[in-house]
Amino acid sequence: MKIGGLQKFSILDYPGKVSCIVFCRGCLLKCHYCHNKNLQNFSGLEEITEDELMNFLANRKGLLDAVVFSGGEPLCQQDLYHFMFHMKHSNGFLIGLHTSGCIYEQFLKVLDVVDWIGFDIKTEFEDYEKITQVPNSGDQALKSFLALVGSKANFEVRTTYDPRFITDNNMINVAKFLANNNVERWIIQECILRNNGKTNEKLSLPNKNLITKLNKIINIEIRK
Ligand code: SF4
């Protein structure tokens, strides 16, 4: 595991549970709005070693409910499954995962061990490149999404709304796609650009007219 950071406590990243967040280093995608650009690179600093993380978690048994893997893209870590398996079965933690599903084979593997998944849908799958800057990146994400909805995993689906690259039609088509796949709730997240890591610029959320249209298709939750 290449670990770019550890947040020792969170009540926001696993629904209803107290968790810590392991930020994995590296991502195959290059989303324009990436909130953790310093973690995109595979070769940057590792904040703590795997052994140090294991020791930290061993001391948090009974104090934390869950370990959430975020990033970067956790699926890029070859030993992710084994690490999750150990955390779950030796230490008794629930396992959470924040992912774009961009590596299907790896997603399938960890689906067996993960208790809750926050799945990022970037836009319509055929338009992923506009956000991710990686050709055909929606193909793997689509396969992972279909595996997710066909599984028994608990999950939420969320989309960061970047009005520079997502059209109203994209939003309506994603809403229809999710509803057709029996997803009951879609979280739309405000897009915040971190300019040189110093100032935050909030982009506009979907307007009321669009929200009304989307809500007729699927329950929308706006998350700021
Ligand atoms: S998938 Fe996530 S970590 Fe990777 S570039 Fe996009 S926003 Fe950043």
pLDDT at 195: 73
Residue 144, ligand 1, Cβ within 6 A? no
What's the CA gap between 84 and 93, in Å, rounded?
9
Q: How would you write 20-60 as a 3-class SS string? A: EEEEECCCCCCCCCCCCHHHCCCCCCCCCCHHHHHHHHHCC
Q: Determine the residue of 34, 42, 134 to mutate for testing ligand 1's pocket, defined as the one with the most ligand atoms within 8 A of the Cβ atom.
A: 34
Mean pLDDT of the chain: 94
C-alpha 190 – ligand 1 centre gap (Å):
15
Span 150-154, mean pLDDT?
Answer: 93
Residue 75, ligand 1, Cβ within 6 A? no
C-alpha 29 – ligand 1 centre gap (Å):
6
Residue 40, ligand 1, Cβ within 6 A? yes
Q: Residue 57 contacts by C-beta under 8 Å, 6 or more apart in sequence?
A: 20, 64, 67, 87, 91, 93
Q: State pTM to two decimals.
A: 0.95
Span 90-102, mean pLDDT?
Answer: 96
Does domain 3-223 bear CATH number 3.20.20.70?
A: yes
Query: What are the pLDDT digits (tens) for 186-199?
Result: 999 999 998 765 67
